[in-house]
Chain A
Amino acid sequence: DAGVTQSPTHLIKTRGQQVTLRCSPISGHKSVSWYQQVLGQGPQFIFQYYEKEERGRGNFPDRFSARQFPNYSSELNVNALLLGDSALYLCASSRAYEQYFGPGTRLTVT
């Protein structure tokens, strides 16, 4: 089976712009979570979705939003980008308590 896939791989944006990141979970997984990993730090939880419903939200501003589609894929949107939003954004799909991560999208804000 294919693993978690994310697109795009890399992205460069300027301050104030908006960005959309995409994630496709492992087949059969209904839950998707998003994490932000700033260079040199551990990943920080942003959102979790299960069956298209938001099940959890981390300590991130309202500029961050997400949604999950009927096929369980997900999008993460970030508005009004700041330099501090530069990070690796990881998507994970899960069944029960184990999470499986995608390769991430590297976002650079200039």
Chain B
Amino acid sequence: GDSVTQMEGPVTLSEEAFLTINCTYTATGYPSLFWYVQYPGEGLQLLLKATKADDKGSNKGFEATYRKETTSFHLEKGSVQVSDSAVYFCALSLQETSGSRLTFGEGTQLTVNP
């Protein structure tokens, strides 16, 4: 079945450090890929997306590139802030076979210290 694997966490960084959170996927078709962020006590917010190979999604300084050859969608940010502390989820959707159903990874807890 379809699945998403995220790097084991949690991740702790100092402010202004470079961030990478790894995400790889297994899918029977050609999925759309997403990163969602969840702040404490809240629901999920869509951070960025990519719908086809080599697409780069970006938002609020975060970027991720859809790599079909390595089945990956790693999240990066050049300089993190304390306000980026949250849980980040990688997810996929196979629109043609399962509608907009999302399959999520386990999540990566990011803590940024001043």
Contacts and interface: CB of A to CB of B under 8 A. Distances in A.
Contacts of B45: 101
Given A42-B105, A42-B107, A99 B99 contact: no
Interface residues of B, number: 24
Contact of B100 (A43, A48, A102, A103): A48
Nearest to B98: A56
Secondary structure class of chain B's binding surface, majority of residues: strand
A56 B99 contact: yes
Given A42-B107, A97-B32, A97-B93, A33 B43 contact: no
Given A90-B44, A103-B42, A104-B43, A45 B100 contact: no
Contacts, number: 62
Given A41-B107, A42-B107, A100 B100 contact: no
8 contacts: A33-B102, A35-B102, A41-B107, A42-B89, A43-B89, A50-B99, A56-B98, A103-B42
Interface of A: 4, 31, 33, 35, 40-45, 48, 50, 55-56, 58, 90, 92, 94, 96-104
